Amino acid sequence: MNRSNGFTLIELMITVALAAIVMTLAVPSFEETIRNNRLTTQANELISALNLARSEAIKRQFTVSVCKSANGAACDGSGWGDGWIVFVNRDDDSPAVVDTGEDILRAYGPIRANYTLNANNNFTNYISYRPTGISNNFGRFVLCEGGQLTHSRAILINKTGRPRIAPDNNSNHIPEDDTGTDITSCTPS
């Protein structure tokens, strides 16, 4: 009697069914991981610009500003989502303007499609760091995907000018500001 080694059709169908169940459970979790990584990457891009501005202001002993910029050469963006530039603001003008002879240290491009990056009224157009490393104001930026607070990051700038991502301390995954208050809008006031 010949005996063949292999799978029966029933064994194969059971294996495929189990694989489908496992994939159905894993894919939504993987999508959430990708979403969180994209948000974190975008938030870290802004934080790196703010840290660069702060450290260069201390190093160069001049005011260094970060302003919204659509073209990477002037403070001309209609929103922070268009991109931003970090530049040495030698004449410390307000609002921040890139004048002749002022060095642009780095230009950042626009954020991903379907994302919004907004600042509260303290940082409507720019944020500047003095030679001491202290910013001209304190406040926050809010980065949202698709206008949903459950898919958002808040970047807080404290009184000393240090930026950080706000903690997510609640079950709705909405960041909180320094006082523990939920950030209730993708357009902070």
Residue 117 φ/ψ, nearest 5 degrees: -130, 115
- Please tell me the distance from the alpha carbon of residue 103 to that of residue 118, in angstroms, as a whole number: 25
8 Å CB contact between 87 and 103: yes
Tell me: the pLDDT tens digits for 34-52? 888 899 999 999 999 999 9
Please tell me the predicted confidence (pLDDT) of residue 168: 61
**Average pLDDT estimate for 47-64:** 96
pLDDT at 25: 81
If you average pLDDT over every residue of the chain, what do you get?
86
Domain ranges within the chain, ordered by starting residue: 35-165
**Average pLDDT of span 8-32:** 85
List Cβ neighbours of 101 (8 Å cut-off, separation of 6 or more): 90
CATH superfamily label, 35-165: minor pseudopilin epsh domain (3.55.40.10)
